[in-house]
A and B are shown apart, each in its own frame.
Chain A
Amino acid sequence: MRPVQKFGVSVSIAAALVFLGVAGHAYQSWRHAEDATPLSGYILIVLFLLLGLFSSRKKLAMLPAGRAAYWTAAHSVGGLMAIGLYFVHTSGTVWPGGSAERLLAALFYLVSLSGLIGYALQRLLPSRLTRAGVEVIYERVPAELADIRQRVEALVTDATEQHGSDTLARHYVESLSWFFRRPRFFFDHLGGGRRGLAWVARETEAVSRYLDDSEKTCLDEIAELAEIKDRVDFHWSLQTVLRYWLFVHLPLAAAAIVLALWHVILVHVYVI
């Protein structure tokens, strides 16, 4: 087991123990008509801030502040513990009463849910990306697609010039160009399907019966390029998701922290 995995296990055990301790203490307090909500509350707000610190640590990459892989493990475990502690803190209430509390609860649920989904994505998608057979940097996808498109169009132009018939060119303009214009079949790629390739196969087969042999050769080359392009699309889909899930997780987490601090202030002014 790698050191990071060992660390993950240790942190999980420690977090489970802490959680059980807090939950047990909360139960005992309830039994004895004492109030343990402040304890779980303080732990939660500290946990929120520590979890949010992960984002700051990434900005401080120049400092030797511990390997980010350890922070990820701690962040994931901490997030799970926060979910558990939340329900200890609210004594099992799922949907609170006041407006600010409801917004905080909603934000917390969304952040937790997006975090769990994001964790799952980050474990599942990379190996699928690797298996695609190509590797492309996300920011270079437009350049790659433009390049492919250029080659395909050069092939089409050549074929038209050489053979005089514009069948291929027209078919390209009418249908295939749609495919090469930008990444397609976004959701199908997410699901791991092969709709893109099937579409290309259908379109090429549709026109191939109207072409002569040399044009067919050109069409084959176009199909090869289409296959490459389809793999780039696959990368585009998955890498987009790998980037954009954070658009849900991070802003909502920031808002949740602000609301949590407001909650702490309110509780101290009104109750504690």
Chain B
Amino acid sequence: MTEDDVDRLMTNDVIAAIEADRFPPGTALGDILRYDTRIVDFGPGDFVVRENDYGNSAFLILDGTLQVVLSPNLPERLLGRQTLTRKGFFETISQLWTNSWRPELRDTARYDGQQLRGGAKLESAHVVIQDIPTILNEHRTATLGVNDFFGELAALGRIPRTATIFAETPARVLEIRWQGLRELRRFDPGWRRQIDETYRENALLRALREAPMFSHLNSDDLQKVSESVLFETHGAFDWHTTYKRMREQGKASEHGTVIAREGDYPDGLLFVRAGFARVSKTMGNGERTLNYLGAGDFHGIDELYAASQGSSGGDVALETSLTALGYVDLLRIPRQALEKYVFPNYVAPERRTSQLAERDVGEDMLMEWAVDMRYINGTQAMLIDLDRCVRCDDCVRACASTHGGNPRFLRHGSIADHWMVANACMHCADPVCMIGCPTGAIHRSIEGGMVIINDDTCIGCGTCAASCPYDNIRLVEIRNNAGDLVQDAETHLPIQKATKCDLCVGNIGGPACVRACPHDALRRVEFHGSDPFAGTAR
């Protein structure tokens, strides 16, 4: 971004409408434009965003026309994703003789069909729509033109892109990353209003609709509630970069941004819409993690309910603290809404959250550690009980057997007591790896929910591998059927592809690693309680 660009941007209608005075000197509008935005040019047919992608940025159209695909959705293949086909029984058995111990063999003929536009730099490769008129004919679209703004929900809420948007004509777009967007919303009331309205309409309402405690409300009441609800985001969306840096230096993760402190007055119920938050209590000189909250969980209801029943004797204070783990997107539901809509039907649980502190510290050690390592993000963390594992590598062999002879994880990783979290993709709730893929090769499968990399469209840029906070994605050099390394035609460097665990999505029977362990030492878990294997028994 050059100075000229910044100047030119300042003349843009939308930008010019921003009240630059409102921005403090430390975060001047110009600085935001300079450091938190960039200008991207798209050719006709280039995808700007793909539906269900995760993104970190919002877009302002400077020039050109974009099309939003409304319905029907574009086929997955067109978006660079793979269609999910499960192998049949015979094909599964045939892997016995078709698998090869030669690493990463690929049938390179498959790659020719992909609509990849190459470039000297890998990151500028795009998946492209070849036939725009057909798309426009077959799908209902909406046109976006100059000064149209979109993508803020994904950037600020970590919500998957709701629609696919591609460039119809050559277009120039201002991409604003989430840090800049946050500042803009913070200081400019116009942007705040627009962003908040969009948020309220989409994310908030949907979250409230899906919450069990409001499920009995009709739409009018729900609307009223949504209007009274405040929302806020804590922590950093790029927590993974900080996390990686800390891990490299051997430091523990930071405790997290404090949202509500123990002893404070509970200003409404905190409802987690996305992200993770830690519930903790002061213990000695530290904070003892009692639990962690994910999407759909809430904080402070015990205290608020007790207050509403008048049983707390006057002062109402939070019994536990709430801190952000990575980022957390919260809804703050005011007491009035609670007392009107929630508490009449509410049955208080036998144990209050704060009573979790009565457990022995040793019992919570694993959860404390998992929270610290941010493994709570994972929905399918590979957990190995080292007291049962005989280090036979049958799990790795099984993983290889379902992937043409190539394993997709490593049997090493962080260890706590006798538990190891191996370097296998955890299919996170917050998949930061998916942010920034130029071709949409890495995506979340709608059917299964697992994060998959489409080998055909992956260009090996390494963005996902670098993003993954847990080092679960690896780039491999591919070989053709003869066993020779495949080289890029221009640079003569070996072509790499990103690979990771895909939960054996194309195979029958689910993850082969779990099946293959002869000593019941390996499970794919989410972290709860002291026995992480609990609930995964089969």
Q: Verify whether A and B have any Cβ pair under 8 Å.
A: yes
Known pairs A68-B517, A130-B387; A135 contacts B95 (CB<8 A):
no
Interface hits, B390-405 → A, CB 8 Å = 390-392, 394, 397-398, 401-402
- Chain B's nearest CB lies how many Å from the CB of A117? 14
B413 closest partner in A (C-beta): A135
List, in ascending order, chain A residues with CB within 8 A of B5's CB.
none
Q: Is the CB of A64 within 8 A of B508?
A: yes
Q: How many A-B residue pairs have CB under 8 A?
A: 90
Known pairs A72-B518, A127-B387; A63 contacts B411 (CB<8 A):
no
List, in ascending order, chain B residues with CB within 8 A of A58's CB.
394, 397, 516, 518
Interface hits, A61-78 → B, CB 8 Å = 61-64, 66-69, 71-72
Tell me the bound Cα distance from A69 to B533 in angstroms: 15
Known pairs A61-B512, A63-B92, A242-B391; A3 contacts B537 (CB<8 A):
yes
We find that the number of chain A residues with CB closer than 8 angstroms to chain B is 28
List, in ascending order, chain A residues with CB within 8 A of B392's CB.
242-243
Main secondary structure of the interface of A (DSSP, over half): helix
Q: Is the CB of A69 within 8 A of B518?
A: yes
Q: Is the CB of B386 within 8 A of A60?
A: no
List, in ascending order, chain B residues with CB within 8 A of A67's CB.
514-515, 517, 520, 538
Contact pattern, A 136-156, Cβ under 8 Å of B = 1, otherwise 0: 011000000000000000000
Known pairs A2-B537, A72-B519; A135 contacts B420 (CB<8 A):
yes
Q: Is the CB of A126 within 8 A of B520?
A: no
A130 closest partner in B (C-beta): B386
Interface hits, B481-538 → A, CB 8 Å = 507-510, 512, 514-521, 533, 537-538
Known pairs A3-B538, A127-B418; A122 contacts B510 (CB<8 A):
no
Any A CB within 8 A of the CB of B415: yes
Q: Which of B389, B508, B516 contacts A126 (CB 8 A)?
A: B389
Q: Is the CB of A126 within 8 A of B387?
A: yes
List, in ascending order, chain B residues with CB within 8 A of A126's CB.
386-391, 519, 521
Any B CB within 8 A of the CB of A125: yes
- Chain A's nearest CB lies how many Å from the CB of B507? 6
Q: Nearest 7 CB-CB pairs, A to B?
A: A64-B509, A61-B398, A69-B520, A130-B386, A127-B387, A68-B518, A72-B518
List, in ascending order, chain A residues with CB within 8 A of B386's CB.
126-127, 129-130, 135
Interface hits, A31-87 → B, CB 8 Å = 58-64, 66-69, 71-72
Interchain Cβ contacts under 8 Å between A and B, 13 examples: A2-B520, A59-B96, A67-B520, A68-B516, A68-B517, A122-B390, A126-B390, A127-B418, A130-B415, A130-B418, A135-B412, A137-B412, A239-B391
List, in ascending order, chain B residues with CB within 8 A of A243's CB.
392
Any A CB within 8 A of the CB of B93: yes
Tell me the bound Cα distance from A63 to B401 in angstroms: 9
Any B CB within 8 A of the CB of A4: yes
**Which has the most chain B C-beta neighbours within 10 Å: A60, A66, A72?**
A60
Tell me the bound Cα distance from A243 to B510 in angstroms: 28
- Chain B's nearest CB lies how many Å from the CB of A18? 23
A125 closest partner in B (C-beta): B390
Tell me the bound Cα distance from A61 to B391 in angstroms: 17
Q: Is the CB of A62 within 8 A of B390?
A: no
A118 closest partner in B (C-beta): B390
Tell me the bound Cα distance from A105 to B96 in angstroms: 34
